[in-house]
Amino acid sequence: SIFGHAMEGNMHLVFSQGFRNADDLEQYSNMMQEMCEIVAEKYNGSLKGEHGTGRNVAPYVEMEWGPKANAIMWKVKKLFDPQNILNPGVLMNEDPDVHRKALKPSPLA
């Protein structure tokens, strides 16, 4: 389902899939890629509003901000967190599939 705050332009996606098989994960991954391309590239929008980046959006930070800003964010991360102990892999993550690995399916799915 999709819901949100139309006045602020926020849209939330709530998945009712169980993500129990490879097809579910592939469908989800394709949807995330397409949605991020539409929002960030086609409309130059933000991939998040009232929630942080998290593992779900981490693979798309560079798509949203561009390579220069992404490189600066990595430098800042490494400068202030050289041991990678502050939320490791949550905001800055080099694994393009992290969003597929950290899923928390709805108990109703």
Tokens of 56: 């779900």
pTM score over 0.85:
no
Residue 78 to residues 13, 52, 59, 83, Cα–Cα distance (Å): 31, 19, 18, 8
Structural domain including 47 reads 2-101
17: three-class secondary structure by DSSP:
coil
Tell me the range of 10-14, 20-24, 64-68 where mean pLDDT is highest: 64-68
**Summary mean pLDDT of the chain:** 85
Q: Which helix (H) or strand (E) holds 5?
A: strand 2-5
In a domain, 109, yes or no: no
In a domain, 108, yes or no: no
Instruction: Convert the pLDDT of each residue in 57-107 to its tens digit.
Output: 999 999 999 999 999 999 999 999 999 999 998 989 999 999 888 677 666
DSSP-H helix ranges across 37-104 = 54-57, 61-65, 67-80, 98-101
In a domain, 59, yes or no: yes
Quote the longest CA-to-CA distance of the chain.
42
In a domain, 53, yes or no: yes
Domain count, the chain: 1
In a domain, 107, yes or no: no
